[in-house]
Structure formats: structure tokens, C-alpha cells
Structure 1
Amino acid sequence: MPLDYPVHERTLPNGLRVVVSPDPSVPNVTLNIWVGVGSRHEASGRTGFAHLFEHLMFQGSRGVASGEHFEALMAQGGRLNATTWFDRTNYFETVPKGALELALWLEADRHGHLLDAVNQANLDNQRDVVKEEKRQRYDNQPYGNALIDVYAAVFPEGHPYHHSTIGSMEDLDAASVEDVHAFFRLHYAPDNTVLTLCGDITPEHGFTLVERYLGSIEPHPQPRRGPVEPLPPLTAPVRVERREDVPNDRLHIAFRLPVDETEEFNAASLALDALGGLASSRLVRRLVRKEQTAFGAHATAWGFVDGVSLGFIVVDIASDAETDEVEVALLEELERFAVEGPTVAEMEAALAQAERSWLSMLASQEERADALSHYTLLHGDPRLVNTHLDRLRAITPEQVRAAAARWLRPESRAVVAYRADIESEEVA
């Protein structure tokens, strides 16, 4: 039986898509905004711009001083943040319902009039913040650049998903204020944005407030490109070897997958769960429990919308095990799964975990608002949140096997192998 979260949708004259999902269980409202710009929209030589704007959007606008967006809402008991991903940039805040108009006014000021405050000093300041973030999260963390290597290995040069959201520091250094202004004008427009209200508010009141505060923002109609051509599985293995001062050897084995929310993507996602996404998965049973050649094994699928998605398996190698032998064992399990498919127990466990995760996510007002924005912006229909599980349950074991046989073959893998630097360990 489908879920029945209430979903009301309206598009304002300026193109802003508004979704309201009433939930009177608590006296607050989550305001969630998805802008249709992520790292996949960046041009060569302009990488990192989407993430840079996640920072710049808190540095002031026409009527708001730098840092005041955070201060004003936190003073009302709100919580807020933002994230950048391949397919979008997301701004969100949860506030007592009496502070909703303040939140909407703040959003209107920065989405409509940010560039009044984007000057050389602000740009220089936030460039330095991004550089420090890269040092802390990527350069100075064990395996910190692994996923950057994965993206570059799985997706060809020039592909929208080839580079990470953090982007190139050289590109950011080369960016002028004019470059940054042009990027904002191209992507930050009401007709490229979804705003979701989830919480203690009626649909009509929500639509009225959003139109009052954001309805006057001018649209910037732009020819927005469609998805690139779909990528097939890799035809031959790709390998990247890193020798660094890391705690243990680690294998990242990645695959191209079909586009998000298709039957074949859902089937491939369930296959990865059965292989390594559960405590009872095949790789966990063999490598971690039986052979004890790995400390841990985990598999996941990330759904993208631009012609391809990504799936990967991460294995932490035990100190007394041979990394290459562990990889051979993993490939044997891939081959076996492509022939046999999931057992009844594996299929039930994968579906049960997916259902538990989905229901737990929707139970959170903030995460439900995020899902509504996601489905509206990337798939054109917020009501898909209510039918996702039904589509997943309709996947058959044979579809799971077939997806694994097509997308998760050993010859279609990209391997990023981090090997512990023995000399560094001996010196230490």
C-alpha cells in the first residue's frame, strides 16, 4: 500500500516550484531549497564554483550582513545549513513556525540579491575557507582523496561526474568576481529552483507566503542542457594505485550504474546490498567472518541523473592478508552472484533494509522535506516519495541477477587501491 504523506505543488509565475507538505505534529516548519546546480554543471576551468556558492550564500546579500543569516535564525531557535552535490545545491532551515516569514525574507534576499555583496574581499575570504576545507576533509585525512580518484577512474575526462564537488583549487584561484557573478546569474534563478515547506502550515498559507517573499524575484530563462548520453559499463578494468601512510590497505571497487530511479538502477542497488550492503552480505560473510582477510566490507549505490550512476564496494584489508588475494576473492563473489542471483533470504533482507531506511528517513520532517525537493527538482514529481517503496518491491530476483550480470562484472570495475606505506610505518 503506498504511503500517503500529503503533497501539494504549485509553480509561481516566475517559475519557482513550491511544494507544501503539512505536518502539524510539531510547531515548526522546515524550509528546504534545491537549486539545479551542482558540480556536474561546471565547465572545464570553472570547477568548484557550485560548492563555492554554498559558502558565499551565507556571506551577506543586499539587506543582510555577512553571517547574519545564521545569527538571525539561530536567535529564533532555528537550525540551518547547506550542502553541495553533483546534481544540486541544497539550502535548508527548520524554524519555529512564527519565524517562517523571517526565514523566507532571508532566502528571498540572498536568492534575489546576493550579488550586491559578492565583492573581491568576500570572494577571497571564501576561497580561503574552501581551501582549508579541502585540506581538512581531503588532503589530511587517511584515504581522503579516494573518492576523487574513484570519480576520475569511473567517468571519462570531460564527463559531468569526472570531478568532485570540491573542485580544483587552481580553478578557484583563477576565478574573477565577474566569473563568479556570471555563474550565479546562469544558475540561481527561480525557474531553476524548488522550495519545499514541510511542517505546521497549510498549503494555501504556505503558497501565499512564498509568493509574497519570493514571487518578485526575476526569472532568468536559460537554455539548460539535457542529460548527456548514457554511459555503458566499463569495457576493461581501470586501476589507480596509491601508496600512502594509511592505517591499512583499502580497496575501492567501483562501477558505472544506470540512471537513478529506473528499474535497472533499483535492481543494481539491491544487488550491491546483497553483496556488501548488509551485515549478512556475501562479502561480509566470506571476507570478514569466514576468511578474516578483511576488517570490513561495505557496498552502496549512488543514484545520479545525468546519464549514469555510481556503485562501489569498499574493503578494509586485514594486516596479515594479501590485498591482491582479497580482491580475487571479491571478484569470485561477483561472478557467482551474476550467475546465481540473490537467494530468497538475501532478497528479503535487502528489501527489508531498504524499507527500514526509507521509512526512517521520511519520519524525519527535515529529511522528508529534502526528499520532496529531490524528487521535484530531479524527477519532476514530489509524489514519488510515496511510491518509491512500491517500485522497489516490484523488482524481481531475476532483475537483480541480470543487473549484476550487466553492471557489476569484474571486467567493468575501476579499482582505487590504497596500500599502507611500510617504510613510513617503520620510521614511525
Structure 2
Amino acid sequence: MTHDEAQALLRQMLVAAIAAADPAVVLAHHLPEPPKGRCIVLGAGKAAAAMALAVEKAWPDVDLGGVVVTRYGHAVPTRRIKVLEASHPVPDTAGEAAAREIYAAAQAAGPDDLVLVLISGGGSALMPLPVSPLRLADKQAVNRLLLRSGLAIDEMNKVRRRLSCIKGGGLARAAAPARVVTLAISDVPGDDPAAIASGPTVPDPTESADLSGIVAALGPTLPDTVRDILLRDPQQEPPFDADYRLIATPMMALQAAAKVAEAHGVTPLILGDALEGEARELGTIMAGIAVSAATHSVPIKAPAVLLSGGETTVTISGTAGRGGRNTEFLLSMLVSLEGHPAIHAIAADTDGIDGTEDAAGAAISPQTLAACATANIDPATHLRNHDSYPLFDTLGHLIRTGPTLTNVNDFRAVLIL
């Protein structure tokens, strides 16, 4: 397989992974029976608008309305469901206004109505409704701290649920006594419904958890009002039933990519859909596994591809440059591989945005390290400074898909020839 063929195969696998989570393809199969009354569609997330459009197309004759909120630039034209846009990953006033509108629509539901809730990654930041006496500024400060903390996503969501009226089952309680059905696209390790968008329609499993350790990790700049809420004994909420349906998951995306690999005579090995930890550390580990496969045919014999998903973290230390967790992962791999002649790799966020940049991720090849030398770029310095984006941008290795209107977390493929 030539260099160009290897890079093309990696991109085909990424395309297949994203397509496996396309609401236009998968959503209709998971819809419940239409209601006797109205169907009120509510939702939040990077895929919310695309999911709303899929509902409209599947149910042309149902009495349908509602409102969803998605990230700026992720809206699509709909006729009956209102689509709003707001900020991600740090919430803004547009998100707060959307959350209030969604919450009010849930409260207006009647016993014969169906409240169809469309949830996907990013919904937590896009639908902020702070508990009293918090203000949006407090939520924004907390979100910035969380994003820089290095905490795992499940730890972050413990905080987000505790500070919200709408998360941790708040939206479902507001919709009672209407029937609530949730269709969700998972972007979290383990596909935990309580973690996807912080679980607006499922009970909070950590409502009684001690969050003092997380408070300590967030440090002294945590606003006092937030600290008080996180440390006080939470109020026990009444139980409720949750009809929750996962329509796309990271594992489904990996399996779709595996089929592409097999069609090209490459053996896939799915390492897991919930790999976590520091992006740079995972890059070093993945490089070691790939070299072992190339040298010793362990854990798999070439030609093969190592597939993985999940959400790594980037803990900022020292100088903070530009880049996301996927480009940092690849830069760490690049440094560790030292130009190994048989290994190519790709890593990207399936929503099309790696961190806050305009690229989904990047790709590397056996020639990338030499290209850095030609361009007078020191990869180790860029890695120390969390400055992966400019390196791959200069080399022309970034992958720009634009918003994909779905999100099943990160996709990583390491090809060994």
C-alpha cells in the first residue's frame, strides 16, 4: 500500500465512523409510536438540529412542534421545530435563553402529549439553567475551570448536574405528566445516559455524592456561591421512569470503520470506545503498541489498524498554545514513533471541531517527522507548549470537515503496514 493509499484509507474510515452516527440515517428506526396528542420536540447538542430535521421527515403527518438548541454554525433549516444556536463549550446568554424556552415548553406539556427529547454531545453547555442564586457568569467561570482542570468527563458532569435546574433529570420532571422519550447520540465513555449532556431526562446517580474532592481540584478561584452549592447536602428528588434510547454510539462508529478496513484487506483491532487519560500519554502508549505490532506482530499482525474512541484530556501546564486533544495525541505519537516507516495515524473529533479550532483533527505518516525538519519545526517544543494546531497547519496535515452535525466522541485509527 502506497503512502497516498494509506492516508486515503484512514480518511475513508473516519468518514464511515461519522456516517454511522448521522441522524438522517439512524434516527427514524428508534422513534416511538406517535402520540394521541401533540409531539413536543425538545433538545440540545451539536446534533440537535440535524436530529430535529430527521424527526420532521419521519413524521410528516404528526402534530409536531418544539424547540432545540445547537452550537453556532450547526443549525439546519426546519419547518415545524424551532432551532436556536448558542455557545459551546462555554455557555452564553443565548444558551440560557434557549434553556428557559425549552424548560417552559416542557412544563406546558399535557398528559396526552409526547415530549420527544433529542440529546447529543455538547448539550450540557448549550442548555444552561443555573440553580438559584447562581448567575450565568458563575456557570461560565465554572465551565472554564472544568475545561482546564484535566478532570474526566464524568467528574465534570457531577458538577454540571449539581448546578443546574435542567440537568440530572430536571427536564423530565418539568414535563410530567406527559410521556417523555429520549433519543440520544452518545459522546461519552461507556454511553452513560446520566453523562450525555449531563442527563436532562434521567435521574442523577450522583445526587448524594460528596464533591469536596472535585471542589479542591478546581482550586481557590472557584466562585464562593458555586463552592457553597457543591459542598452542601443536596435535596433528594422524587424518582421517575425514563424511556431512553441510544441511536448512535462510539462503538457503532468504530465498527463501521472496521468494516471499511476489512474491505481493503486490513485487519481491524478495536481497542475500546472509552479510552481516557492525558492525550499525550495515550499518544505515547498507542505508538508503543503500533511499533510492537509492526516489529513482533503483537497484539496483531500487519497489515492492521488499531481503532479506538473515547475522550482524552489536555491538562494545561506552562505555555498554552493552540490545539485540541486529537492533534495533541497525534503530536505525541509523532514524537514517540521517530519516523517509523510502517505506521500512519489519524485522530479527529467526530463533530468536526477539535477543541475550539476549525479542524476536526489531523493525520500523520512516516514522512511527517522529516517534513517538520524541512520546515524547521521542533515537534517536542510544540508538544511541551500544547501547540499542536500550528504544526499540523503548517504541514498541511489538518483535517477540516466542517460541522458534521453529529458527535460520537473522538475517532482514532493507527494503520500498521
Q: Output the TM-score relative to the length of structure 1.
A: 0.24
Q: Highest CA radius of gyration, 1 or 2? A: 1
**Higher helix proportion, which one?**
1
Higher RCO (CA-CA < 8 Å; seq separation 6+): 1
Q: Output the TM-score relative to the length of structure 2.
A: 0.25
